[in-house]
Structures are given as structure tokens and as C-alpha cells.
Amino acid sequence: MKLPISAVLITRNEAVQLGSTLAALSFCDEILIVDSGSTDSTEAVAKSFDAKWIVKSFEGFGPQKRFAVNLAKHDWVLCLDADEVLSEELQTEIQQLFKSGVPDQYQGFYLKRTLVFLNRVFNGGRESKEYHLRLFNRKYGNFNQAQVHEKVELKGNCVQLKNQLLHYSYPDSHKYFDKFNEYTTRAANELIKKNKSRNTAKIIFSLPFNFIKHYIFQGNWKNGFPGWVWSIYSAFYPVAKYVKVWEGINQKSE
């Protein structure tokens, strides 16, 4: 039985992971994908699951997802990234929720996202218990216009679902740094537009501080060697972002 839910995704060269993501969405009445110019077999994978395929140039994560949500057939939308997979338990939880009737007082549901990194399902760290508003009624909200780190802005009541959304974001370090470079550049450009910078001392000392925060205080030590690697990479993210801000502001002043 298909449920009145539109699964909405944006893609670009996501053929490797997309099949697993779409296979877990078989209960959705519609799968809608907005692609920004894939050159791999993403389209073929999408169409093998009877997904509706739309091509649109990329203008930022927020605008792209907002556009996709507006094209959905149903008001209830399940918005996932192409590297996020509903666990079997979460699939069952969502199906039971809709079969019994979504309570009128709720307009959205937070999904518990858990990172899978270097073949390790994280059971410690912030990334093992992040909640994201991914299942919502679009009559009450949509994604904002942020270029990166976009989020749903919703007027209504939301509640957390219990089971895991597995995040297979980085199959290896090469893929990690591809995304790392794209995300830090987009984030830096937004900060440059707002003329927000950080002095060099803060950039320098943020690296050890953030490593200790991620590895010790947030509990990534529980995730073994993958947790140590993740903490190193995460600590370097703001350094790279603000170095790019520093470069951009200095180039503008020349």
C-alpha cells in the first residue's frame, strides 16, 4: 500500500548510493528528484525506481530543495539527501504513523540521523543523535534560502520519531574532501557577503579546541579510529572556511 507521501530529493552524481536510498522509499506514493546536471548513471538509477526526474541548474541547497518541495504531488513530503537511508525500523514507524492517521496537532516530524563513516555506524558524538525536520506538511513551511546548511522553517508542532535515518555521507576520504571543498567555499562566500570574518589567532587556535570538543566532549572517542578521523576532519572545517573568508576579503580590498 502506497502512502500519500512525496519523497523529495536533490541530486548530482549520486549513482553509487542512490539505489539504497530509493529502495527504502517504496511505501511513498511519489518519488521526485531534482537533478543539477549529473554526468554518471544517477538518472538511470532514479528511473529504475519510477522516480519523477526534473533537471534544474543548482542555485544553492536551500533554493534547490525549496523548488523540489513545491513540485511535490502531496502536501506531506519526506525530504532526504541522496546519501540518507531510512532504517527498516524507521520505514515501519512512518508507515504505522500514516496508516493510523497523522494526528491533526502535528505538522512535522524530526528524524534521528546517525552517521555511517568509514564503515562504522556511530554510537557516540553529535553525529549519532542529530535530529532533522525531514517529514513535514508543506502547507506549513518549506526550506529556507540558505546556500549551505539549509533548514526547514515551519509554523506548527513537530515531534521526534524514534528510529534511525542512516547517513552514508562519505564513503571514503576522497569523497569527503570533494564535499568539504564545496561546502567550505559556499559557506565562506555567504560570510564574505555579510562581511563576517575572524581574526587569525581565533582561526589558529580553533583547530585544537574543536578537535578536543569533537573527540572528547562530544564523545567521538566511542567510535574508535573512525571517530578520531572524523574529529580531525571536523576540526579543520572551520579553519578552511575562515581561511577562504580571509582570502576573499583580502582579494576584495586589493
Same domain, 187 and 157: no
CATH code, domain with 86: 3.90.550.10
The pLDDT of residue 128: 87
Same domain, 83 and 13: yes
Last residue of a domain, one of 138, 170, 202: 170
Establish if 74 belongs to a structural domain. yes
Establish if 254 belongs to a structural domain. no
Establish if 163 belongs to a structural domain. yes
Q: Which residues pair with 158 in a beta bridge?
A: 108
Establish if 107 belongs to a structural domain. yes
The pLDDT of residue 253: 57
Rounded to 10 deg, the angle between the 224-253 and 200-212 helix axes is 170
> pLDDT under 50 in the chain at which residues?
none
Tally of domains in the chain: 2
pLDDT in tens, 103-118: 999 999 999 999 999 9
Same domain, 97 and 218: no
Last residue of a domain, one of 136, 154, 170: 170
The span from the CA of 72 to the CA of 211, in Å, is: 41
Judge if pTM exceeds 0.75. Answer: yes
Parent domain of 235: 173-249
Q: Give the torsion through C-alpha atoms of 22, 113, 68, 63, to 10 deg.
A: -150
